[in-house]
Amino acid sequence: MSEQDTSPAWAETLPEAGDGRASRSAATDIVELPLAKALNAGLRKALAGDPKVLLMGEDIGPLGGVFRVTEGLQAEFGRRVMDTPLAESGIVGTAIGLAMRGYRPVCEIQFDGFIFPGFDQITTQLAKMTNRHEGQVQMPVVIRVPYGGHIGAVEHHQESPEAYFAHTPGLRLVSPSTPHDAYWMIQEAIASNDPVMFFEPKSRYWHKGPVDLNFNQSSLHASKVVRTGTEVTVVGHGAMVNVLLQAAEIAQGEGTSIEVIDLRSLSPIDYEPLLASVQKTGRLVIASEAPGFASLPSEIAATVTERLFYSLEAPVLRVTGFDAPFPPAKLETIYLPDADRVLEAVDRALAY
């Protein structure tokens, strides 16, 4: 990307803090953005930097998507931002064909529960195409998936289907938890020559945070220690990271030191910071909104136990959604892990 693109013109006109949208620091290239607007800015940057980048999805054009992540992009980039029929299999299938012709399509799945009509295309075609052609056919396709609960939605609009795709070789899976990561990770995902499942925590879309438009410290598949501690390691991704930070803050007031790790990448998983942390604390709690059976927490627990069995002072514990379909909105606070459930697991780990 050219030097002149580093500080985009749109950033100069960002409104001041307090209107719920964005603010810009006068002397730096750090802006305050909600996560949804950070994604919008990252997509705009990718579209401006490469004419082969295309956006596809249901209602992503004039409407800007259900969550307004693509708001204004069709007006700026025209036919490269395409409204599609309500057909997830068709969206992904078309993206596969476009990728074979040298384009970099970014597909929006409107809600997490709508991804399953496209599941066959993703797992049997998109994930396998490069291997089938011995590396000579690349699949630079990004599939954006708003996922998770805490928005009071109805059936099929609140799911956490990450494990289905983490189990599929050939796919990369990532999930940002902050606006800064959202801005940079969407650009890195689009630049990847492999297919990337990009899971966006929809409950965090409207939460603001600083975004450095010029500097990014972490690569796409790096996990990150976001709070240091000495007694227990807790790990999660997406919206769960904020829950873990809340739990760590409460625990500190009670005299317990918790280290928090943001996975960021779900496949591959960057284990080194996680293993180093567990070697230090001797205890690990893993949190996820998805059901616990055959889940990402299951895989992480098994791997850490295999590699650090003699460093563990307690069993690895998991705090997850229940092994049941996602409940009606009035019951979601019971189903989803919160700070209290995380702290209960921390207490159990410390009791050993």
Q: How many CA atoms lie within 13 A of 82 on its CB side?
A: 16
Options 150, 156, 157, 167, the catalytic residue: 157
**150 contacts 239 by C-beta, under 8 angstroms:** yes
CA 265 to chain centre: 8
157 is an active site residue: yes
d(CA 77, CA 80): 6
Between helix 35-49 and helix 179-191 the angle, nearest 10°, is: 30
Length of the chain: 352
d(CA 147, CA 157): 8
Q: What is the b/e burial string over 285-308, where b = at least 16 CB atoms within 10 angstroms of the residue's CB?
A: bbbbbbbbeebbbbbbbeebeeeb
CA distances from 207 to 15, 21, 74, 131 (A): 16, 9, 24, 39
Active site residues: 157
